[in-house]
Amino acid sequence: WAAAAGSGCAVAVAHPNIALIKYWGKRDEEWVLPAADSLSLTLDVFPTTTGVRLAPQAAGDRVLLGGQEATGPAQARVADFLHLVRELAGRREPAVVDSRNTVPTGAGLASSASGFAALAVAAAAAYGLAADPAALSRLARRGSGSACRSLFGGFAQWHAALDAGGGAAADRVSLAEPVPAAAGLEVALVIVVVNAGPKAVSSRAAMRRTVATSPLYRPWVASSVQDLTQMRAALAAGDLNAVGEITERNALGMHATMLAARPAVRYLAPASLTALDAVLALRERGLAAYATMDAGPNVKVLCAAGQASQVAAALREAVPQASVVVARPGPGARLVAG
């Protein structure tokens, strides 16, 4: 890390990413080091815009989320992240963080990914931390694991860096990198928002419980390692059906390992299953449509870009109470001011 001239004020925008090969479980909680690699698609919808302004006279960090003053654990998580940035930059001043999501927070729609990616970019610039996208990916990871992937547009792989062990050595190499895909592979992700409310169990707590108690956890990690190798080959070949099949089985495997935790972690709701049935019906009609789900009841459907409106229409009909949004590959996090 090196210091640059920080302007004291910066604004950044980042988009959420949805994992096709999931991150579920840490091997090191303090450094946010995952048990296995993951691979995602950054979207062009639901951006987060975050401003960081240094406030030398303030008593402590102020955090505004959607214009509301954050308190308790939400404020503390951002303040802890700013503390880390200050340590790296050799600075002491508190800051005011103003973050606006266009996606419901905590609903399994990757708000922590876009949120911490935007915060990492804005805070590094405000505190004068000279950082390239790779270094910012490492930094964002410390805020929320999945955020390291939102530094990059399109497909990105987060390296677990198991060979580096743990702690500071692994911290240097556990980051995301863009993944090339065949030029002809044009995908969309149709998001079925069945419930935009916050989840009952946070990802962080649910992961911890799964790692500690699920007898299916180790086998899922082993199969996820194979899924990732096959996913890279399918992306390089531009094979949408293979990309979709691997995506769907990886997500359902992750939910299976959570369901086997004690007590079970269940994010699937009745409307989620209705959407999963609709995806099967689309495949029976010959469309390449494959589902993935995260830490919430919402279903995301990977399909060919040219068939996205057909897929969206079928899902609107099958789950009339849901709102359905068509997303396409989007850009990496970037500084917009400062």
Among 24, 81, 127, 217, binds ligand 2P0 (CB under 6 A): 24
Is 152 a binder of ligand 2P0 (CB under 6 A)? no
Is 203 a binder of ligand 2P0 (CB under 6 A)? yes
Q: Is the dihedral of CA 113, 42, 236, 276 positive or negative?
A: positive
* CB nearer ligand 2P0, residue 6 or residue 145: 145
**What would the two tokens of residue 206 be?**
């649910």
What span, in angstroms and rounded, lies between the C-alpha atoms of 104 and 115? 12
Q: Which residue is nearest to ligand 2P0 (CB)?
A: 145
Choices 89-97, 140-148, 193-201, 219-227; region in contact with ligand 2P0 by CB under 6 A = 140-148
- Dump the DSSP string for 300-320: EEEEEGGGHHHHHHHHHHHST
Q: 98-117 mask for ligand 2P0 (x: CB under 6 A)?
A: --------------x-----
* CB nearer ligand 2P0, residue 145 or residue 244: 145
Q: If you ran DSSP here, which 8-state letter would residue 98 be given?
A: E
Is 23 a binder of ligand 2P0 (CB under 6 A)? yes
Is 61 a binder of ligand 2P0 (CB under 6 A)? no
Is 146 a binder of ligand 2P0 (CB under 6 A)? yes
Choices 52-60, 121-129, 132-140, 143-151; region in contact with ligand 2P0 by CB under 6 A = 143-151
What span, in angstroms and rounded, lies between the C-alpha atoms of 230 and 215? 25
Size of the site for ligand 2P0 (CB under 6 A): 14
Q: Is 290 helix (H, G, I), strand (E, B) or coil?
A: strand
For 221, half-sphere exposure in the C-beta direction (CA atoms, 13 angstrom radius) is 17
User: CA nearest 49: which of 131, 137, 115?
Assistant: 115
- Dump the DSSP string for 230-284: HHHHHHHHT-HHHHHHHHHHHHHHHHHHHHTSSS------HHHHHHHHHHHHHHH
Is 295 a binder of ligand 2P0 (CB under 6 A)? yes
Choices 138-146, 187-195, 255-263, 282-290; region in contact with ligand 2P0 by CB under 6 A = 138-146
Q: How far is the CB of 50 from ligand 2P0 (least distance, A)?
A: 16
Q: How far is the CB of 327 from ligand 2P0 (least distance, A)?
A: 15
Is 294 a binder of ligand 2P0 (CB under 6 A)? yes
Is 187 a binder of ligand 2P0 (CB under 6 A)? no
Is 291 a binder of ligand 2P0 (CB under 6 A)? no
Is 62 a binder of ligand 2P0 (CB under 6 A)? no
The answer for residues whose C-beta is within 8 angstroms of residue 300's C-beta and 6 or more apart is 18, 189, 190, 191, 192, 291, 292, 293, 294
Under 8 Å between Cβ of 126 and 95: yes
Binding site for ligand 2P0 (CB under 6 A): 19, 22-24, 32, 38, 112, 144-146, 203-204, 294-295
